[in-house]
Structure 1
């Protein structure tokens, strides 16, 4: 089986899972944006996925993502940065990414705005929400009580556009209740910012629960591309 065949089969399987989850939730699969998270995978995989109709690609490591995006600059893709973002990497990330999912602190809003004002189109930013217990060594994100102020800061920042929220389910816990909390926060943000409709939640292992709780964007790596490969650097 060729790599193209592998990816076509995997994509069909992921789309079937999305359709089934939407059916159970009474939702339209057209509401769901599939982001192919291609970390550790080569640009050739991105090209194959684009040929299969994938339009959104996610990366979490700037050094790898920048080179890959440059190789694929001829493709009609939207690049999403989904990993933790250091302020000194903002300029590099905004060379290719038009959506940043991991905005978790005011200082990052300031850094993104300073670079985004130089672009012809605004950068869409999502507030990353921590769903981990307060005592946990979590996976990043703003605490729930800090989310409204951070969303407002993005909405007011020149060059930025508030897109909504993003989260990762807590390790070792049922993702359903965590995603339900995210849905409540997302609704509260939309009450003040109706345009902020994105709920980026759900990965290979929990996309079904995320869709049941209102996810609009799912970030799929392993189920689509296989296990991650070791990278150098």
Structure 2
């Protein structure tokens, strides 16, 4: 068994254990393998281990890998900050976008989504920790943004996403993630997705209701940032 396959199995065990502890169905929690800076070969190995959903931050890198892996039935998620001149390619080549934080970006994705692909699944990114270095709309701006995005054609607003400030304290992790869940509940919209939780706070995220865990390091190991397209440098 490859190292990546072993890591996916370990992550799966963590998810099941955390779900059991919080009385959740593990099948309701999706594992999104964050494959930014990873090779197409590494993604093939993960696919062979049963992984189907992959998250990318850098558009050109993602498009190159999509072409190399076009023979595989993969679902691609865009999870990085979005520049206006990148929206058409994202609308045409991804099934999910987790990182919409402005109405202008959502409008462009809606206008540029090909009809034959069906609605593009959207999560709104919230700057839940108020960090200047993080993308995301402010919590107080979320309600107006969510209502506007939910009305756009060719998009399906699914829920919220956040990248909280890093913490080693499980209580702090849970408190921040719980605030995202509460924001979603208070919107009063029919939403089913919380994209939150990474390698270090997976258990807290499961406890607080995550439906997509964005896991990179725990699957692929430490990243090498020496060569990737850093056009949209992300945390």
TM norm structure 1: 0.92
The corresponding residue for 1:112 is 109
The corresponding residue for 2:233 is none
Q: Is the 1:165–1:198 Cα contact (8 Å) retained in structure 2? A: yes
Given candidates 140, 154, 157, the residue that maps to 1:145 is 140
Give the distance between the partners of 1:97 and 1:117, measured in 2 at CA. Answer: 11
1:94 is paired with a residue whose SS is helix
| Paired residues for 1:113-128 under 5 Å | 113-128=110-125
Q: Is the 2:92–2:113 Cα contact (8 Å) retained in structure 1? A: no
The corresponding residue for 1:93 is 90
Give the distance between the partners of 1:45 and 1:35, measured in 2 at CA. Answer: 15
Give the distance between the partners of 2:16 and 2:60, measured in 1 at CA. Answer: 34
The corresponding residue for 2:57 is 60
Matched, 1:231 2:223: no
Give the distance between the partners of 2:93 and 2:42, measured in 1 at CA. Answer: 18
Matched, 1:49 2:54: no
Given candidates 164, 173, 176, the residue that maps to 1:175 is 173
- Structure 1 residues not aligned, in runs of 5+: none
Give the distance between the partners of 1:225 and 1:154, measured in 2 at CA. Answer: 34
Give the distance between the partners of 2:117 and 2:91, measured in 1 at CA. Answer: 12
Matched, 1:206 2:201: yes
Matched, 1:19 2:24: no
145-154 or 57-66, which moves further after superposition?
Answer: 145-154
Give the distance between the partners of 2:213 and 2:67, measured in 1 at CA. Answer: 24
The corresponding residue for 1:188 is 186
Aligned residues: 225
- Structure 2 residues not aligned, in runs of 5+: 230-235
| C-alpha displacement of 1:223 | 0.3
Give the distance between the partners of 2:164 and 2:17, measured in 1 at CA. Answer: 21
Post-superposition CA distance 1:40-79 (Å, at most 9, x none): 1101111111111111100001011110011111211110
| Paired residues for 1:209-220 under 5 Å | 209-220=204-215
Q: Is the 1:166–1:199 Cα contact (8 Å) retained in structure 2? A: yes
TM norm structure 2: 0.91
Post-superposition CA distance 1:166-209 (Å, at most 9, x none): 111113473211101001012123x2x22x20000000011111
Give the distance between the partners of 1:64 and 1:212, measured in 2 at CA. Answer: 33
Give the distance between the partners of 1:54 and 1:151, measured in 2 at CA. Answer: 30
